[in-house]
Amino acid sequence: MAALALARRVVTVLPGTSAGEDTARTLPAFSRFMKSWTWTVPLWKAGLLTTDLDGRSPEHDIWDATRSIERDAAYLPLRHFFHQHDHEDPRTYLTALANDLMKGGPDPGISLPVAAGLDRFAARTRCVVARAAASSLAQRAEASLAAPVGSLVVPVFVQANAHRILHYREVLEDQIARFNASIDRLSHSLDEPKAQPALLRDAQAAAAALSAAFEQARDELFMSAGDDDVRPVEGAVSIAAVSLPSDAVFTSSVRAVEHLAPPAPVACAATTTLPALRDELAGRRLLSLVVRPLGRSSIAN
């Protein structure tokens, strides 16, 4: 919800685009998933939600992430999660993906390459990644890889329908644009740590201006809220800006697996003949915004 309120555009993965519409439509699990996403249709039509950035899609990076697990010895502890799925069969994979998203992503064999692929895409395109606050063991391990940049607090709708989100963006358009510009500058400063304190102050000032504008425009933001199909709920969110390596998802997941079950020695009878390919994103970092709700939320009457 914070990303939908604050980002210039939100790039995400829409399952089924590569499998073909006719194939996807015949799968009950996928149909249920798409029904759960119908509330977002106005956001797609407005161009806020999209599956690509200037013609570049995360799908290629997701498949690259999957192949990395299959080929890179460093990710060996993760491979048993992937043996449960037949990624080469579009119908089987799409059903598994749809079921996983409906359950909130408990299957690492599905969710890990998607999350890792989105990070790769962000590192490649200089996008900023939105993340929830750490709750799982893997997420806590990921937090240990993060280099803190700074924190911000802004008010958003933590519950609202698509039209209310778009109304928020329209009313606070100038402040959101200023906030976006400040985050963009922070994202491009990851290789220039000396510049970050001043840029962070700019971002915090932009967040403060957004908060003040929200308070001044409160009546307009909640105008006709009683007619909404979903009651709008406002809430302050803390946004921790952190710098992460582009492979943070896999590295933290390996650490989590090894913490739960330390690896036993393995005797290798054969070695792979696959060539060792250099990852063009190796060593690259990305800016991630870790979002956490603060205190109690307010509900419109």
**pLDDT at residue number 263:** 54
- Mean pLDDT rounded to a whole number for the chain: 85
* pLDDT the model gives residue 83: 56
pLDDT-based confidence at residue 109 (cuts at 50, 70, 90) = confident
pLDDT at 296 (0 to 100): 59
Q: Which of 88-102, 180-194, 245-259 has the lowest mean pLDDT?
A: 88-102
- 217 within 8 A of 172, measured Cβ to Cβ: yes
Amino acid 273: pLDDT: 46
Ramachandran angles phi, psi of 155, nearest 5°: -90, 135
- The pTM score is 0.85
pLDDT at 295 over 80: no
Give rounded-to-5 percent helix, strand, coil for the chain: 50, 15, 30
Say whether pLDDT at 26 is over 60: yes
Which of these ranges, 65-69, 119-123, 137-141, 271-275, has the smallest mean pLDDT?
A: 271-275
Percent of residues, the chain, with pLDDT higher than 90 = 48
Predicted local confidence at residue 240, as pLDDT: 95
- pLDDT higher than 70, residue 15: yes
How much is the pLDDT for 13? Answer: 85
DSSP calls for 156-219: EEEE--HHHHHHHHHHTHHHHHHHHHHHHHHHTTTT-GGGHHHHHHHHHHHHHHHHHHHHHTHH
How large is the average pLDDT for residues 227-248? Answer: 94
